Structure 1
Amino acid sequence: MATTHNNASPHNSSFPHVISVTSGKGGVGKTNISVNLACLLADMGKRVVLMDADLGLANVDVVLGLTPERNLFHLFHENASLEDVLCKTPYGFQILPASSGISSMLELDTGQKLDLLESVDAMENDIDYLIVDTGAGINDNMLYFNLAVQERILVLTPEPTSLTDAYALIKVLKIRHGVDRFRVLVNMAKDMAAAKEVYLKLHKACDQFLSGISLDLLGVLPVDKNVRNAIVRQKPFTREFPHSAASIALADVSRKINTWKAPTQLDGNIKFFWKKLLFQS
């Protein structure tokens, strides 16, 4: 399988980072952030695959202006290989596209699941980051993806509904599944004060009603008209407007992510991601 970037470093003994970008509600810019993080990490010479895990309303390919021939439906239901489904982008990374109306992966039989686990062996050695763009809200597929990853980036905005929905997502993942660590990314903030206010409100609610939650403020992206302009053009804003306020802020976030220690245990690798996802009871 081809690597995703010409400057990719040789594979070492550590496993790829497996990261979800998730949210409690739609409209917070989650997919756009996923796409642009993939761009920025690829610019650093990292080998990146972005998986569109919104199986009902897939739109990573739309944001990028791409029309993949195959998607996750063909992988799960028509015996396509991962190499068949992986789609190269002009930005140095690959995507695993989805499509609307895909049935749950949990409907795969045991043989299909085992075949899939066999097929991901090569991808684990060919990438540094698997970014999983989850669906918004609280549903089974979104929960399964967030359970399978190593790190969770929770995107929220200063809007009250975004805050309450983000708390609801944290509550479900904590109480039902024991997930207690999140990286918070505040998007579309009018200023730093507004961003810190919404982050502190979320932090306070978790401290008051949920015990043992770790919320790390990963970054703040300001309101930036260039983001909307790039979406209309179906281009990543970090490429179309690299010196814009949002691009500069997200570049800082990507540099922070690049400092995260690469996983060296089983729960950080790609096979474990698929195993947890496909064999959830």
Structure 2
Amino acid sequence: MNDAPNRLPLVFTVTSGKGGVGKTNISVNLALSLSRMGRRVVLLDADLGLANVDVLLGLAPDLNIFHLFHKGVSLKQVLYKTPFGFHILPASSGVAEMLSLSTGQKLDLLEAMDYLEDRIDYLIVDTGAGIGDNVLYFNMAARERLLVLTTEPTSLTDAYALVKVMHLNHAVNRFRVVVNMAPSEKAAKQVFSKLYAACDHFLDGISLDFVDYIPHDAAVRQAVIRQVPFCHMAPEAPASLKVADVARKITGWDSDAHLDGNIKFFWKKLLFQEQSVA
């Protein structure tokens, strides 16, 4: 990776309260869209025991984060340059040891992240789904959280559960929201309004920002089957154009990024949180 100018990279998660909402697909296509805009992007597959990013991209990296922790390889060696203009930090699949990071492992990763500090613009963290420890840790540490939900009632319920736990247990009060696979803009805004109303009624001080919606699009499924990003396979498809819109909006978040948006602080917050609850 080329050295970047002196600026702090922005760390944000793409997260969800339940699986099956297209979170990883959005992560991959946001990474591609931002890289097309000239941004240097690393996508971290933070679903550490159930890797999906490399599968969606049709890639088979030889190394992943497991090797960083257990085999003594460097972060530079684990970083995998995709054919789509961005790098990934692949997770391992079916490795139980990766489901919960120890303090020592987080320290190792913090030290390894020094390599990225001056080389990228965005670290996108594709979290697991739900409210497991790793999901909460990554969301707590990131500067921004992009919450993905669909118009299904269970998605709404689980999204609220994630916001509630993050707010009550970790004092996280700001979420950006994307409604995926929406049948219409009206339906997307209706489900966002329901989430907003629930949070406004039961949780004090929550800030929810409706970023956009991604329409239901047959091109998305076709791209998944072909194991390529839909923004690459069908750049003019409705879903692709909407993801590009979301990416442009994300570039506007830069003005909000201070010292607590950078990579080192991201991992230090992970470590501090674990120590504070031990």
| TM-score with structure 1 setting the length | 0.93
In structure 2, give the amino acid aligned to 1:11.
Answer: P
Q: Tell me if 1:205 matches 2:198.
A: yes
Match of 2:208 in 1: 215
Q: Give a deviation string over 1:39-67, Cα, whole Å, max 9, x none.
A: 00000010000000001211100000000
Q: Give a deviation string over 1:236-273, Cα, whole Å, max 9, x none.
A: 00010000000111111111111222566331111111
Conserved? CA contact 1:76–1:105, under 8 Å: no
* Distance (Å, rounded) in 2 between the aligned partners of 1:52 and 1:213: 27
Match of 2:131 in 1: 138
Q: Which runs of 4+ in 1 moved over 4 A?
A: 112-115
Deviation at 1:115, TM superposition (A): 4.3
Q: Give a deviation string over 1:154-186, Cα, whole Å, max 9, x none.
A: 000000000000000000000011100000000
Conserved? CA contact 1:28–1:157, under 8 Å: yes
Q: 2:76 aligns with which of 79, 83, 89?
A: 83
RMSD: 1.5
* Distance (Å, rounded) in 1 between the aligned partners of 2:107 and 2:194: 44
Secondary structure of residue in 1 paired with 2:236: coil
Q: Tell me if 1:182 matches 2:175.
A: yes
Q: Tell me if 1:11 matches 2:11.
A: no
Q: 2:249 aligns with which of 242, 246, 256?
A: 256
Residue correspondences, number: 272
* Distance (Å, rounded) in 2 between the aligned partners of 1:176 and 1:116: 24
Deviation at 1:117, TM superposition (A): 2.8
Q: 1:214 to 1:273 in 2, by over 3 A?
A: same
In structure 2, give the amino acid aligned to 1:265.
Answer: H
Percent of residue pairs bearing the same amino acid type: 63
Match of 2:102 in 1: 107
Secondary structure of residue in 2 paired with 1:25: coil
Conserved? CA contact 1:16–1:262, under 8 Å: no
Conserved? CA contact 2:100–2:133, under 8 Å: no
Match of 1:95 in 2: 88
* Distance (Å, rounded) in 2 between the aligned partners of 1:11 and 1:205: 42
* Distance (Å, rounded) in 2 between the aligned partners of 1:180 and 1:129: 21
User: What are the ranges of 5 or more consecutive residues in structure 2 without an aligned counterpart?
Assistant: none
Deviation at 1:103, TM superposition (A): 2.8
Conserved? CA contact 2:10–2:257, under 8 Å: no
* Distance (Å, rounded) in 1 between the aligned partners of 2:68 and 2:100: 10
Q: Give a deviation string over 1:80-124, Cα, whole Å, max 9, x none.
A: 110011001001100000012243553253xx5544433222211
Q: Tell me if 1:274 matches 2:267.
A: yes
* Distance (Å, rounded) in 1 between the aligned partners of 2:90 and 2:21: 20
Q: Give a deviation string over 1:13-46, Cα, whole Å, max 9, x none.
A: x310101000000000000000000000000010
* Distance (Å, rounded) in 2 between the aligned partners of 1:89 and 1:27: 24
